[in-house]
Amino acid sequence: MTDNVQLGTLRLDLFSGPSTPSDWVQLSIETLATLAEAVLDASKDLLRTIRYLLNDSGLGFQATYRRHQTGLTIRASILPSDARDSTWKRIGGRGAIKERANHLRKLFWHLRSGWDGEGEYLMTRTAADLQKMPELYMAIPSPPEPNFELEPGITYTDREVRSRLMYYEEPEGVKTIMYRYQFRTVAKMLQMETKPGRLIDTHFTAFEESGRQGTYYVDMAVGDIQRHPGWYDLPRGGILAEQMGTGKTLAVLSLILATLSTPPTPPPDAIDISPALSEHTVSTFPFQPYQRAREALGRPPATFGIPSLVHMCANVLSQTDALARKSGPIPPSAEKLLEQPLSYYVYPDIDPCTRRAKQQVQKKELKKVYLANTTLIVVPQILIEQWKLEIKKHLVPEALKLLEIGRGEVPSVETMMAHDIVLIDVLRFGQEETMHRLSKGLDQSEFTKARWKRIVLDEGHVAGTTTDAMRLAIALSIERRWIVSGTPTKHLQQGGEVDDKKSVKGAKTGQPQSLMWPKRDLEDAQRIGVMVGGFLAAQPFQSESNFNERITNLLRGKDGPRFGSVRRLKYIMDALMVKHAPTVIDKEASLPPSTITTEMLQFHPMQRITYNVLAALIASNVYTSNFSDPDYFLHPRNLASFKQVIQNLHLACFWYSAYDMGAAECLARTRKQLESNATLTDAGKVALQEAISHLEIALATPGWQEWMSNGVSIPYEAGVLPAIIRDGWSDSMDTAPELIDAKSLQHLRQLNEPGKSPVAIGQAGWDARASKHAEVFAQLEKIEQRAHREEQRRLKELDELDMNHDLESGSVKAAAHRPTSTKAFVRQSKTSGAKSPKSKLDERLDEAARNAAAAAQRIIRFDTPDRDPGPRPLPTLLKTKSRSSKLNFVVRSILESEPGDKYVIFGDIFELGHVSEALDLIDVKSCFAGTSVSAARRIEALREIEKPETKVILLDIKLGARGLNLVCANRMIFLAPVWNLDVQAQAIKRVHRIGQTKPTKVEILVTRGTFEEDIAERSSALRTENEEKIYSRAMIENPSFVYPEDEGTYTFPIRFVPPDQVQTSPTASSPDISPATPVTSADKLEFPPVIVSPSSGRRGLYDDAPGQFVITAKRPLDEAMVDMKPGPAVSLAMPKKKKARVAFA
């Protein structure tokens, strides 16, 4: 029978059996009975299955056989359940159905693909079944050449649009010359919107027939076999996943332009709705759908007869061609009709048995929904300006009508419908969610009054069903949906943009690949489920949970994914994701070369000491707490301390200092433990001896301990300055007076005017340093009392463990408090109304600093107008270097760069604060964008970097910089290796993308001998979130010390005169320096709070309960805002931000 499906062949092994001719012979129940005794034990289960299937008359199972050397080869075929003569459904009882399914599953595990007995087992996992998420993502086919079937029914405008794409001509309104791959992308997106593909019922797995061409489908769960199972239309839209920097915004704009003529239609699967109506048609057309709408609205019947041909044609045009008025001459009477907005009505479910009075009430529930030929574009706020710039850059003026929605009320639906694009940020969009508005006593949003043509969610990897924005997006009636993201999931990389190193330090090699999917791949699959089942609302899922049930959950299992589940996921990804292979884009849109280098740097000796002290403090904690005591950093109660210690180690690779790190106390405690603790292992003894050695070196090094106690930032070398000035301004005057911080150097150059007295300048330094501490101690005791009360409350809540010895030892006391979050303090400084004691203290400290500076000016200005002021007390040019190797590298790189080069520097917020100070010193203008400042300030920074005078933009690595276009820059520096390679790839694509005209250079700074070196060598497979947690624990469990160091010889010059006195020509009295633009970044940046503590001026007074306060640098050049707040004890900072850190007792 031609309707039968040829499944494959079986092998039945026998001791002996009848010889048969070479031809195939029908296999019957009787033949099987004669073979029962001759079948080997291994084939008896198969024999029972064949017997059952032959006995099942409703199944239509047929078999033929012939003899081979050791048994029988059996050809199996079956009549599918959807065949015309099938009797599959004629079987009684659930038990019988279950038994049939079990035997069919057994059959498929024995089937071979060849029709003559050869081939692999049908259920053998092929290469396609062994793919995991990275392979599936990389294998997504690139869009084909544009090829549209120009059906006779399409409008002239649509025909023109398709012809343009097929001949690689930009859509009308696009002024940018597009790359060929961009045409294919737009054509693919247009095809997915207008003729979406189909998805076979996901319960079925496809198989190829054996011995002939043909495909059939099997539902293994119920044992059903069909040739044509049910299918679902894919959603009109998808996921635009082109790699970063390839012009996804231009593709979306081109798609909008290409479909301007196509208005949306009412939902095709809705049951009780009207067709598309205008005010004219609902009032005058006598046909039944319009009559029903009039009755529902309570309007009188139509008084006119059959509409004129002009009116009927106008009605058709209004529903099929929104640009009909621009396509050719239109009769005046029809033109007015084409201007009327379209809508449809959702009818209420009225019970015909209900009394007429109640039916009248129900009629009021009739809902009118406008058909809006408008695209909603929802983006992170930081990308709003970029979208506006991209529209201006790529499109001719007025090609699209744009409406931006800000903080105010959302305009009426009629106003929004009058625009082609409504641009809104994702947080503002979420405020329109129905339940959110109802909770505030507001009516439903204007967005709910229309069926929108399209929604585009830019940076759609953030799509989540739990946010208000996503709930609203899913709930709205929208015809076409798009997610735009170069990295649509958390772990997927762009087709090998980040190459794994073949040799991985510490990685296991030579082991067979596990079939079980790793956690990261399952997370990515689940993320796709959120997009496909949630936002895209693809059938048959229409929810994240349904997608998990039908797809993701089948991928889990110790033995790997269930058979066919990987193929189903691949089909969905291929059908809904649009992306080109990176090699295709590289070939068609060649960018200037980009080089990525890892710069291996060695610690400055002072840095190395600090890092090793931290490691010694950790080692002491680990080996003296028996790996389990409550004061152990990895104890569950010390999670906050653990995280802060890890951050401190990261910061120490750039610069770290903390008030009273407790090195001396730790040294005494460790020596005692080494002598008296009999439980220490040999490894523990060796580690503690090494820790003692580094603590001794630190305490014996001149300047280290004093700067840790008093220093506010990275020290710079200023030994050429007069001793009286160094003593006044250095925070390590007793042991290393040649060290002065950046902010003090800035103040000094402001004072370096002709005729100034070195004595007075030195005194000004004493006054300035005193102003940093004097008022602080007045409030310190109150802060410490509050902190002590908070500590007691916390310990009382955790009364299940005895922490008395912890309080006595102090081994984690300072580390146990997490710093107040940066973001909270930024908001507080902006929104606080009444002045708190902290803000009053801010004012007093600011006033003290100003008074000190003013007093110095009065003392110094002894000259009179008729008297020569004399020479400057200090040189006009100072050559210096910092005690941070990474900072010196950054400064050198910038100073030696080409004049037209611009830099993007990624780092931790506290590292960037130090970089900003250095840029101020060398007169390089910079701007800052990070999580600690408002979105408006971040947007302003992105504008600032475009200006010729701004050379550097400092970006918080936590911001990720997703979606930003920074092609104005061609240099990039990572201040540390980035664990998440997706974040790194995203960051690099900010500069190396379409529009870049210069070669780009990316430098990743790594400190030799530290954990950074190990991170830089790790492959992407070993940089998962879980691996990061494991590695962070290992940093505590196995602390290591660093020995390489390099003091360095490079010094850089800094201007040492006030900016208004920079000379443009050499004179006898001062060295020649080049004119420089005064740095203005200081009064634009807003850095996070710095946790600080009192300096050595009152050392010993609060040894038992060290306090701290927070400096929030919302700083003009000579101002600082100081917020008093309990936090972990660390060192004192002044006008510039410093890192949050933990000190160890």
Tell me if 150-197+234-257+373-497+514-589 shares its fold with 879-1052. Answer: yes
Calculate mean pLDDT across residues 6-33: 81
Three-state SS for 519?
helix
- Torsions phi, psi for 114 (to 5 deg): -75, 150
Q: What is the C-alpha to C-alpha distance for residues 1045 and 1027, in angstroms, rounded to an integer?
A: 29
pLDDT tops 80 at residue 1008:
yes
Question: Which region among 231-240, 256-265, 327-336 has the lowest average model confidence (pLDDT)?
Answer: 327-336
pLDDT tops 90 at residue 601:
yes
Task: Identify any residues that bridge with 454 across adjacent strands, giving them in sequence order.
Answer: 375, 480
What is the structure's pLDDT at 1091?
A: 31
Architecture of domain 879-1052 in CATH?
A: 3-Layer(aba) Sandwich (3.40)
pTM summary value: 0.74
Calculate mean pLDDT across residues 877-894: 95
Q: What is the C-alpha to C-alpha distance for residues 731 and 713, in angstroms, rounded to an integer?
A: 10
Calculate mean pLDDT across residues 860-888: 77
Estimate the crossing angle of helix 384-394 against helix 935-944, to 10 degrees.
40
Residue predicted with more confidence, 1098 or 866: 866
CA neighbor of 379 nearest in space, from 391, 395, 396 = 391
Could you list the beta-strand ranges (E) of 893-1013.
Answer: 903-907, 926-929, 952-956, 971-974, 1000-1007
Query: Alpha carbon of 974 to those of 323, 597, 714, 971: distances in Å?
Result: 50, 10, 19, 10
Strands 367-379 and 343-346, by their bridges, are antiparallel
Calculate mean pLDDT across residues 741-759: 90
Calculate mean pLDDT across residues 550-561: 89
What is the structure's pLDDT at 1097?
A: 33
Q: What is the C-alpha to C-alpha distance for residues 1022 and 498, in angstroms, rounded to an integer?
A: 13
CA angle centred on 589, ends 588 and 590, rounded to 5°:
105
Calculate mean pLDDT across residues 19-40: 81
What is the structure's pLDDT at 850?
A: 54
What is the structure's pLDDT at 19?
A: 59
Q: Which range in 267-281, 348-362, 1085-1099 is most confidently predicted, on average pLDDT?
A: 267-281
Q: What is the C-alpha to C-alpha distance for residues 856 and 885, in angstroms, rounded to an integer?
A: 34
* Residue length of the chain: 1145
pLDDT band per the 50, 70, 90 thresholds, residue 1126: very low
Q: What is the C-alpha to C-alpha distance for residues 630 and 634, in angstroms, rounded to an integer?
A: 9
Three-state SS for 410?
coil
Question: Which region among 47-61, 377-391, 792-806, 1043-1057 has the lowest average model confidence (pLDDT)?
Answer: 792-806
pLDDT band per the 50, 70, 90 thresholds, residue 1063: low
pLDDT tops 60 at residue 1113:
no
pLDDT digit string, tens, across residues 895-937: 999 999 999 999 988 899 999 999 999 999 999 988 777 777 8
pLDDT tops 60 at residue 702:
yes
pLDDT band per the 50, 70, 90 thresholds, residue 402: very high
Average predicted confidence (pLDDT) for the chain:
78
Task: For 335-391, give the DSSP string.
Answer: HHHHHSPPEEEEPP---TTS-HHHHHHHHTT-EEEEEEEEEEEEE-GGGHHHHHHHH
pLDDT tops 60 at residue 1081:
no
Three-state SS for 13?
strand
pLDDT tops 90 at residue 72:
no
Calculate mean pLDDT across residues 95-108: 86
Task: Identify any residues that bridge with 877 across adjacent strands, giving them in sequence order.
Answer: 1055
Residue predicted with more confidence, 199 or 352: 199
pLDDT tops 60 at residue 510:
no
Q: What is the C-alpha to C-alpha distance for residues 1023 and 557, in angstroms, rounded to an integer?
A: 23
Contact (Cβ atoms closer than 8 angstroms) between residue 991 and residue 904 = yes
Three-state SS for 741?
strand
- Torsions phi, psi for 72 (to 5 deg): -120, 145
Percentage above 70 pLDDT, the chain:
76
pLDDT digit string, tens, across residues 612-648: 999 998 888 888 776 666 667 766 666 777 788 888 8
Task: For 792-852, give the DSSP string.
Answer: HHHHHHTTTS--HHHHHH-SSTGGGSPPPPHHHHHHHHHH--SPPHHHHHHHHHHHHHHHH
Query: Alpha carbon of 95 to those of 45, 61, 98, 137: distances in Å?
Result: 20, 20, 5, 42
Q: Is the dihedral of CA 29, 32, 36, 37 positive or negative?
A: positive
What is the structure's pLDDT at 1000?
A: 94
Task: Identify any residues that bridge with 405 across adjacent strands, giving them in sequence order.
Answer: 424
pLDDT tops 60 at residue 816:
no
Q: Retrieve residue 539's tokens.
A: 């059938």
What is the structure's pLDDT at 790?
A: 57
Question: So where are the chain's domains?
Answer: 5-110, 150-197+234-257+373-497+514-589, 273-346, 609-626+636-667+688-863+1082-1123, 879-1052
pLDDT tops 90 at residue 694:
yes
Residue 1017: Cβ-neighbour burial (10 angstroms; 0-12, 13-18, 19+)? middle
- The residues, any chain, with a CB within 8 Å of residue 1087's CB and separated by 6 or more, are 909, 912, 913, 916, 928, 932, 1112, 1113, 1115, 1136, 1137
Residue predicted with more confidence, 153 or 27: 27
- The residues, any chain, with a CB within 8 Å of residue 804's CB and separated by 6 or more, are none
pLDDT band per the 50, 70, 90 thresholds, residue 938: confident
Amino acid at 816: A
What is the structure's pLDDT at 796?
A: 57
CA angle centred on 506, ends 505 and 509, rounded to 5°:
100
Three-state SS for 678?
coil
What is the structure's pLDDT at 1032?
A: 80
- The residues, any chain, with a CB within 8 Å of residue 242's CB and separated by 6 or more, are 185, 248, 251, 486, 578, 579, 580, 585
What is the structure's pLDDT at 194?
A: 92
CA neighbor of 1125 nearest in space, from 915, 918, 845, 837 = 837
Contact (Cβ atoms closer than 8 angstroms) between residue 872 and residue 753 = yes
Residue pointed to by tokens 């203290």: 841
pLDDT band per the 50, 70, 90 thresholds, residue 375: very high
Q: What is the C-alpha to C-alpha distance for residues 590 and 1082, in angstroms, rounded to an integer?
A: 39
Question: Which region among 369-373, 545-549, 743-747, 1065-1069 has the lowest average model confidence (pLDDT)?
Answer: 1065-1069
Contact (Cβ atoms closer than 8 angstroms) between residue 8 and residue 112 = yes
Out of 3.40.720.10, 1.10.3470.10, 3.40.50.10810, 3.20.20.150, the CATH code matching 150-197+234-257+373-497+514-589 is 3.40.50.10810
pLDDT tops 70 at residue 821:
no
Contact (Cβ atoms closer than 8 angstroms) between residue 38 and residue 17 = yes
Calculate mean pLDDT across residues 720-730: 91
Residue predicted with more confidence, 144 or 989: 144
Residue predicted with more confidence, 655 or 627: 655
What is the structure's pLDDT at 961?
A: 56
pLDDT tops 90 at residue 599:
yes
